[in-house]
A and B are shown apart, each in its own frame.
Chain A
Amino acid sequence: MAEFLQFLISGLTVGAVYALVALGFTLIYNASGVVNFAQGEFVMLGGMVTVFASAAGVPLPLAAVVAVVAAVAVGLLLHRFAIEPARGASAVTLIIITIGASILLRGLAAIIFDKQFHKLPGFTGEAPIDVLGAAVQPQSFWVLGGTAVVVVALYVFLEHTLLGKAVLATAANRLAARLVGINTTTIMALAFGGSAAIGAIAGILVTPITLTNYDVGTLLALKGFAAAMLGGMGNPLGAVVGGLLLGLLEAFGAGYLSSTYKDAFAFLVILIVLFAAPQGLFGRRAVERV
C-alpha cells in the first residue's frame, strides 16, 4: 500500500507538470491552430528566471512574478514577430517556426544565463512528509495545488468572462468569431501570453523537485504534446487528464514493470488509446469540410 501510494504521488507530481505543459499547448492550439513546440521553453524560462532573479537578491515570491512576466513577454514577442507575420501559412510551416523559436530561445538562454543545472529551495522546506507510509516532498503538494489553481482559474476565465468566451468562440470557429466582431489577433496574443504564463508557473513550481537548466524544455514539450494528444487535442480537460495519466503510466510502469522500458510503456498506451479512439480520450469528432 505504501509502495502503491509512493508511485501514485510520484506519478501525479510529474503528471501535473505534463498537464500544465499540455494545457499550454491546448490554449494556443485552440486560439490559433498552432502546435507550439516552444512550449517547453516557457517552463525553462519560468525556472531559470526565478533562479537567477533570486540569486540576484530578489525575494523568491517576487522573483517568481518576474519570471512569469518575463515568460509572458517572450510569449507575446513570439506571437508578434514569428507567428503573426506568418498568418495564413500552413499548419506544418507554423510548427517549423515554433521549432525554430525553441532553438532560438534555448540558444539565448545559454548565453544570458548559463549551461549549468540550478535548483530552487522548496517553498515550505524539504523535510519529507509521511503520507500513510509514503515519503512525500512538501513541494509535491505545491505542484499539485498550483496545478489545480491554474486549472480552476482557466475554467472560470473561459466559462464566466466575456473575454474567455471570445477565446472559446475563436477556438470553435475562427471565421465565425471574426464575423461577430471578435478581434482574433488579440485573442491569439492573449493565448500566447496565457500559455507562456502557465508554462512559467509550471517551471517555478517544479524546479525545487526536478532542477532546471537551459535545455529542459525539449523533453517537456515532447511529453506535454503526447499528453495533449492522449487527452484529445483542443480539450483543456483532456490535456489535464492526459498529463496526469502520462505521469502515472511512467511511475507505475517504472515501479511495477520495467524502469528501462517505462517510456516505451507510456507510448504503447498512447498508441493503443489512439487506435481505439482516434481523437484521443476527450477529442472532438472533426468533420472534414470538402
Chain B
Amino acid sequence: MGALLNQRFMTLAVLAVVIAVLPLVFPSSYYFRVASLVWVSALAAIGLNILMGQAGQVSLGHAAFFGIGAYAVAIGPTHLGIPPWAAILVGAVLSAVLAYLVGRPILRLKGHYLAIATLGLGVLIALVISTESGWTGGPDGMPVERLTLFGWRVSGSNTWYWVTGALLLIGTWIALNLDETPTGRAFRALHDSEVAAQVVGVDVARFKLQAFVIAAVYASIAGSALAFMNGFINPDQAGFLHSVELVTIVVLGGLGSIVGSIVGAAVLVTLPQALTIFHEYEHLLLGLIIIVSMIFMRNGIVPSLSGLFLRRARS
C-alpha cells in the first residue's frame, strides 16, 4: 500500500514538474496554446479511460458530453445570464444527469452494441446542437464570453496553459485516487470479467453507471475549458469524429493507463502540427503512424514501453 501511494505521488509530482518546466523551453505563445490543447484533450481522455480502461465499457459518443460542457458556458452567460464560472458547473451537472438517465438502459448493452448506442446518442446530441441555431448559432458555432474569476479576466494562451494544466493535475489526482478505492477495484473487476465480478457480489450495473457519469463529467469540464480558451465553439467539438479522436487517444496511450491518456493526447494533438511540413502527405502519414504504433505497441504507448523497460530491468 505504501509503495502504491508512493507511485501515485510520483506520477503527480512528475506531471507537475513537466507542466512547470515546459514553458522554459517554449519559444512562443503558440507552444502554450498547443500544450493547453494537450492538457484539455488529456483531461477528457482520462475520464473516458475510467470508463473504457477501468470499467471496460466503450463509448463512441463521448464528444457529446464535451459539447454539452462547451455549449453550457457559451449559452449560459449569453442567453440565460448565468455567470461564466457557474455555467461550468451547470454543464457538468447536466452531463452527469444525462449520463445517469441514459446510462441505465444503454449500459445493459455489450461490446459493439454499446458502441453503436453511444454513437447514436452522440449523433443525436450533436444534431440538436447544430440544428437549434437560435440557441447555439447553428453549424457555424457561437462566441463564448471570457471567463472572469473574482474580477480576473482569464485570457491569453499563457494564462490558459496554467489553468488547463491545473485542471489536468486535479483530474489526474482524482483518477489516481479512484483507482485505489473499492469503486476503482470494482471497475477493474468489471473490465476483466463482468460475470466473475457479478458472482463475487459486485453490483455491476451500479458501477458501470458510476464510471459513465464520472467520464461524462470529465468530458464536460474539458469542453467548458476549451470553449473559454477559444472564445468560440462550434458543433464539430460534439461530433462523431471528435468522439473517435478521444477513443484513439485513450487506446493509443494505453487502455487503463492514466499517464497513457496524457501521452496519447500529447501525440495526437501535436502530430498534426508537426506533420504540416509534409503538406498533402500529412493525412497519409498520420494514418500510417497510428497503424504502426498500434501494431508494435498493441497495449498502447505507455503500457508497452513500461513493459519493455521492466523486462530490460529484470534481465
Contact = CB atoms under 8 A, between A and B. Distances in A.
B252 A226 contact: no
A82 B296 CA distance: 11
Given A104-B284, A107-B282, A97 B295 contact: yes
A93 B294 contact: yes
For A100, A226, A286, the residue with the greatest tally of chain B CB atoms inside 10 Å of its CB is: A100
B127 A96 contact: no
Contact of A229 (B112, B196, B255): B112
Interface in B267-315: 280-291, 294-295, 298-299
Interface of chain A, main secondary structure = helix
B121 interface: yes
Interface in A77-106: 82, 85-86, 88-93, 95-97, 99-106
Interface in B82-120: 105-106, 108-113, 115-117, 119-120
B116 A101 contact: no
A92 B58 CA distance: 9
A18 interface: no
B287 A279 contact: no
A96 B240 contact: no
Interface residues of A, number: 48
Given A35-B112, A89-B298, A278-B110, A101 B287 contact: yes
Interface stretch (A51-59, A120-128, A145-153, A261-269): A261-269
B111 to A, nearest CB: 8
A96 B290 contact: yes
A225 interface: yes
Contacts of A270: 116-117, 120
Contact of B294 (A89, A105, A111): A89
Interface stretch (B11-19, B209-217, B243-251): B243-251
B180 to A, nearest CB: 24
A163 interface: no
Contacts of A107: 280-287
Contacts of B120: 226, 267-268, 270-271
A290 interface: yes
Contacts of B244: 99
A111 B113 contact: no
Given A225-B116, A271-B120, A290 B288 contact: no
Contacts of B194: 288
B123 A263 contact: yes
Contacts of A105: 287
A260 interface: yes
Contacts of A267: 120-121, 123-124
Contact of B283 (A88, A110, A225, A229): A110
Nearest to B127: A264
A205 interface: no
A58 B240 CA distance: 38
A278 B109 contact: yes
A248 B137 CA distance: 31
B195 interface: yes
Nearest to A215: B283
A100 B127 contact: no
A96 B253 CA distance: 12
B113 A280 contact: yes
Contacts of B255: 90, 92
Nearest to A229: B116
B290 A268 contact: no
A222 interface: yes
B3 to A, nearest CB: 28
Contact of B280 (A111, A218, A233, A283): A111
Contacts of A271: 106, 117, 120-121
Contacts of A82: 291, 295
Given A107-B282, A229-B112, A93 B298 contact: yes
A96 B287 CA distance: 10
B290 A110 contact: no
A99 to B, nearest CB: 6
Given A90-B255, A92-B251, A290-B195, A226 B131 contact: no
Interface string A208-235: 0000000000100010011001000100
18 contacts: A82-B295, A89-B295, A90-B299, A92-B247, A95-B251, A100-B286, A100-B289, A100-B294, A103-B283, A103-B284, A104-B291, A107-B282, A110-B280, A226-B119, A263-B123, A263-B127, A270-B117, A271-B117
Interface of B: 52, 58, 105-106, 108-113, 115-117, 119-121, 123-124, 127-128, 131, 193-196, 199, 240-241, 244, 247-248, 251-252, 255, 280-291, 294-295, 298-299
Q: Which 5 A-B pairs have the closest CB atoms?
A: A104-B287, A100-B290, A107-B283, A107-B284, A103-B287
Interface of A: 35, 82, 85-86, 88-93, 95-97, 99-108, 110-111, 218, 222, 225-226, 229, 233, 260-261, 263-264, 267-268, 270-271, 274-275, 278-280, 283, 286, 288, 290
